[in-house]
Amino acid sequence: MDKLTKEQRTKNMKAVKSKGSKIETLLMKTLWHKGYRYRKNDKTVFGKPDIVFKGKKVAVFCDSEFWHGKNWNKSKYDHKSNIDFWHKKIERNIERDKEVNKYLTENGWKVIRFWGKDITKKLDSCVAEVEIKLKSHKKVL
């Protein structure tokens, strides 16, 4: 049984953003201040990565634990209402993430995926990982 009314739940779900989340903004601002220039949510790149370094073919995704199913085999039992809907939704998101990773890597892209908690708690190591990928990839003409 849901603890919120239908109206409250609707309001909460409408507030969820597909881009410009706190975790994305935190990583983007840090990269920007370090001098890295990127594209945000570039629709021309398959999967619309949150951060795109097109010239270096590096795509960065900032995934929230809930929507992208971190530890899914364990956390899927946390849902108490509308279970079928949530299981289908999140499992499809997981599958889509795999499809995007596969497509991009097959086409020469370096793909980096960070969990939201990693960005908030280990921001420096996330930035370092992006820097390593950028330095290891040759520039595309």
Q: CATH code at 34? A: 3.40.960.10
**What pLDDT does residue 52 have?**
97
> Residue 38: how many CB atoms within 10 A of its CB?
21
**Short-list 42, 60, 69, 71, CA closest to 129:** 60
**Residue 9 is assigned to a structural domain of this protein:** no
The number of domains in the chain is 1
pLDDT in tens, 15-57: 665 566 788 999 999 999 999 999 999 999 999 999 999 999 9
The DSSP output letter for 101 is H
101 domain-assigned:
yes
Classify residue 6: in a domain, yes or no.
no
- Assess contact for 1 and 80: CB atoms under 8 A: yes
Show the tokens assigned to 43: 């629709």
Radius of gyration of the chain measured on its C-alpha atoms: 17
pLDDT in tens, 67-90: 777 877 777 667 667 778 878 888
Domain range holding 110?
Answer: 19-136
Q: What is the pTM of this model?
A: 0.81
Report helix, strand and coil shares of the chain as percent, to nearest 5: 55, 10, 30
Q: What is the pLDDT of residue 138?
A: 61
* 12 domain-assigned: no
